[in-house]
């Protein structure tokens, strides 16, 4: 069990350009809210990078 990691399954969801911008805008607003609260944004940052690729 030690040293073994489950491979993360990558899921692709087709979205329109409009939906893409809504998702990205929501993630950025959520990130800003976490920064204001002094919380970590690592998970949101990774998600923003994944969505923007």
pLDDT per residue as tens, the chain (53 positions): 566 667 778 788 899 999 999 999 999 999 999 999 999 999 999 999 988 87
| Residue-level pLDDT at 43 | 94
Q: Taking phi first (over 0 means left), then psi (-120 to 50 degrees means alpha), and beta for anything else, what does residue 45 get?
A: alpha
**51, 26 Cβ separation under 8 angstroms:** no
> Measuring CA to CA, which residue among 31, 32, 33 is closest to residue 44?
31
Q: How many residues does the chain have?
A: 53
| Residue-level pLDDT at 26 | 97
Strands (E), 1-53: none
């Amino acid at each position: 069990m030690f040293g073994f990691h489950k491979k993360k399954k990558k899921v692709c969801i087709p979205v329109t350009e409009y939906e893409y911008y809504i998702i990205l805008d929501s993630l950025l607003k959520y990130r800003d809210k976490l920064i204001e609260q002094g919380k970590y944004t690592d998970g949101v940052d990774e998600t923003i990078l994944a969505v923007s690729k």
